[in-house]
Chains A and B, each alone.
Chain A
Amino acid sequence: MRVLVIVPAYNEARNLPALEVQLRAVAADYDVCVVDDGSSDDTAKVAAELGLFVLRCPLNLGIGGAVQTGYLWARERGYDAAVQVDGDGQHHPEDIAAVLGPIRRGEASVVIGSRFLSAGGFQSTAVRRAGIRYLCWFLRLRCGARVTDPTSGFRAADKSAIDLFARSYPSDYPEPEAIAIAIRRGLRIAEVPVHMVDRAYGVSSITPWRTLYYLVKVSLALLMLPLRRMHARREPEQA
């Protein structure tokens, strides 16, 4: 099975070297592709010096657009599976095998690495955990998804999910919505426990106000799903 590891990176030049060391330990099994999302620092240069393959977006697209760039590459190169791993060092590459497990066994098309299924590690703040619980509830209400960590950016996709995400992927705060889109398409979702750590350098893009905006935006997106699905169906297949 050919697997592509997608690493979306926006101004992560300082976090990439540590990630590369961890990736190298498992790199024999996977191809790695860093998506430089129009960074203003040396992200692309650092990644290239580390010998990582880089997809450079000339403009900043936001996390959704960057991740989708990775899925487009995976589709074009005919990969059997893709794994998203954040470039900020939050995710451990040694968990990649675990996240791929359900896909290898044919049990699911999309696998989410959940920090809440494993004990310890970075569990985020109380406010954010409350927000995450609300998102879980809303996702279950809206499309019957039973997930514990809908905002996790550590996830794997099989070929059918790569096709779907290459065609339609939400732009900002895309994680919960992407789950809903996948379920709407009849893809099976699974969750596996992973260990997360707080980022080493730089600040998270998510502040209290942004958390509120996040919840409102994602709620609206989940409410409007059926319309988006029609839109996606009308969209012509891109070569």
Chain B
Amino acid sequence: MSHPQILPREFQVLAVLVLLAFLAWLIRLVRSQKVTLRDSLLWVLSTVALVVITIFPSLLLRLARALEIQVPSNALFGASILYLAVNLLSATIANSVNAANQRRLVQECALLRGELESLRRDFAGRARTAASGEPSKPPART
């Protein structure tokens, strides 16, 4: 199945080893819960796809022919750039969602601090009126 004219065998072995090492790293990150399974999914699937292409470069050749790319290695570059772009975009999406969530949480935190502050004021006010023997008034609204 291998096409030495596309990818030399030495390169194939090295590339597969590097990709497998990368995959092992990914799996370790998931198992040690530094990356969630959901976020790792795209990386794992696309890396597995790269391993398949490296082992069977004829796929690459067919892709190059189908797209009428003269030099098959350019199909490889194209595929790699797509691989990086897709993974980067998915990371960007996750980042934007996180930023929106963080903003909401920070605001909630500010509102709760405000609520606490106004409760403290009410409480201090009532304690003062109680100490001076006057009937307690309903709390002032902030």
Contacts and interface: CB of A to CB of B under 8 A. Distances in A.
A55 B106 contact: no
A57 B142 contact: no
Contact of A33 (B102, B104, B109, B114): B114
A54 B110 CA distance: 9
B107 A53 contact: no
A105 interface: no
Contacts of A171: 103
A159 interface: no
Contacts of A33: 114, 142
A94 interface: no
A53 B142 contact: yes
A77 B117 CA distance: 14
B110 A55 contact: yes
9 contacts: A33-B142, A35-B110, A55-B111, A57-B109, A58-B109, A59-B106, A65-B106, A72-B107, A77-B142
Interface of B: 102-104, 106-107, 109-111, 113-114, 117-118, 141-142
A61 B142 CA distance: 24
Given A56-B114, A61-B103, 12 more contacts: A33-B142, A53-B142, A54-B114, A56-B113, A57-B107, A59-B102, A59-B106, A69-B110, A69-B111, A72-B111, A73-B111, A76-B111
Contacts of A238: 104
Interface residues of A, number: 21
B121 to A, nearest CB: 9
B99 to A, nearest CB: 8
B4 to A, nearest CB: 49
Contacts of A69: 106-107, 110-111
Contacts of B109: 57-58
Nearest to A78: B141
Interface in A67-86: 68-69, 72-73, 76-77
A95 interface: no
A195 B109 CA distance: 34
Tell me the interface secondary structure of chain A in the complex. mixed
A58 B114 contact: no
A31 interface: yes
Given A31-B142, A77-B141, A77-B142, A53 B114 contact: yes
Nearest to A38: B106
A65 B114 contact: no
A53 B117 contact: yes
Contacts of B102: 59
A68 B107 CA distance: 8
A81 B33 CA distance: 47
B123 to A, nearest CB: 15
A60 to B, nearest CB: 9
B118 A65 contact: no
Contacts of B103: 61, 65, 171
Interface in A160-176: 171
A171 to B, nearest CB: 7
Q: In the complex, which of the residues A31, A61, A76 has the most CB atoms of chain B within 10 Å of its own CB atom? A: A61
Interface string A228-239: 000000000010
Contacts of B107: 57, 61, 65, 68-69, 72
Given A31-B142, A53-B142, A77-B142, A61 B114 contact: no
Given A72-B111, A73-B111, A76-B111, A57 B118 contact: no
A53 B102 CA distance: 24
